[in-house]
Amino acid sequence: MLNSFRMVSFIEGLSYLILLFIAMPIKYIGDNPYPVKVVGMTHGILFILFAIVLFLAMNRLKWDKGFSFQLFVYSLIPFGAFYIEKKVKQLKN
């Protein structure tokens, strides 16, 4: 379960960065909204998957609700996936 959570977290975080730093500039600088539609939809699906896997991990791994909420908030921040990875690695040690 932990490895699944880490993988989904990383992929969701990567999709967020692609949306913000590649697709959005293409939309506003290149006047092409198509990449935002594709990457935005993909990121939205991955974000929902992240929330589901976070909930499952919280229940199966007996994570504190405060800790889980902190991970959720990190997912809203660009580069937050790296903070999530750091926090989860600290649990293993």
* C-alpha dist (Å) from residue 58 to 46, 50, 61, 63, 66: 18, 12, 6, 5, 10
* C-alpha dist (Å) from residue 35 to 5, 38, 43: 27, 5, 12
| 47-77 per-position pLDDT tens digit | 999 999 999 999 999 999 999 999 999 999 9
Q: What is the pTM of this model?
A: 0.91
Evaluate if residue 92 carries a pLDDT over 80.
no
| 12-51 per-position pLDDT tens digit | 999 999 999 999 999 999 999 999 999 999 999 999 999 9
Report pLDDT for 4: 93
